């Protein structure tokens, strides 16, 4: 069996009075992420990691921010299309390990809902999606609450 590992990293600026989409759910907060799509940083890193693991380039290649059809798009649609592309190449997801870096709001209470949502979109088990959250101890742009960052590592395998 052929297995492959992929890694994703993304950041988005935080702005007041925008909805804050994270892991496919809207998280209550005074600020939201700024981006061409709904700026769901967690979904974006998962897409990047999956595409990279299968040697299918990156999220910007498949869903460019210069294309008006992706303006304001729900990132769950991007994730569903990423899964279609991945499966068309003969791969399936083994597991995902991700970390969100954010000072506020606290993410931990929302993790089970994120796991449920992502698992449903991806057609995998909730137990296959690890989501962790951390602060940067008030250091850098995350610490100053100017932005949010996320990382993801994925393991995929080729279906026989």
Calpha distance 141→14 (Å, rounded): 10
Contact (Cβ atoms closer than 8 angstroms) between residue 15 and residue 145: no
pTM of the model: 0.96
11 is in an annotated binding site: yes
Q: Is 124 annotated as a binding residue?
A: no
Nearest of 101, 99, 98 to residue 136 by alpha carbon: 101
CA dist 16 and 91 (Å) reads: 39
For residue 107, the model assigns a pLDDT of 96
Are the C-beta atoms of residues 37 and 63 closer than 8 Å to each other? yes
Asked whether residue 75 is marked as a ligand-binding residue, the answer is: no
For the chain, which residues score pLDDT lower than 70?
Answer: none
Query: CA–CA distance from 139 to each of 78, 92, 101 (Å)?
Result: 31, 37, 11
Cα-flanking dihedrals φ and ψ of residue 76, to 5°? -60, -35
Q: At what angle do helices 41-53 and 111-122 cross, to 10 degrees?
A: 40
pLDDT at 1: 82
Domains and CATH numbers, the chain: 3-158 (3.30.1330.50)
141 annotated among ligand-binding-site residues: yes
């Amino acid at each position: 069996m052929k297995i492959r590992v992929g890694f994703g990293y993304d950041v988005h600026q935080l702005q007041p009075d925008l909805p804050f989409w994270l892991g496919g759910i809207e998280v209550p907060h005074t600020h939201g992420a700024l981006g061409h799509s709904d700026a769901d940083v967690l979904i974006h890193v998962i897409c990047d990691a999956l595409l990279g693991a299968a040697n299918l380039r990156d999220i910007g290649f498949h869903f460019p921010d210069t294309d008006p059809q992706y303006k304001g798009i729900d990132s769950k649609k991007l994730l569903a299309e990423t899964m279609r592309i991945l499966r068309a190449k003969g791969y399936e997801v083994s597991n995902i390990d991700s970390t969100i870096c954010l000072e506020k709001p606290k993410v931990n209470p929302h993790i089970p809902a994120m796991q449920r949502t992502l698992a449903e979109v991806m057609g995998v088990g909730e137990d296959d999606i690890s989501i962790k959250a951390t602060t940067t101890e008030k250091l850098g742009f995350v610490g100053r609450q100017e932005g949010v960052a996320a990382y993801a590592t994925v393991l995929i395998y080729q279906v026989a």
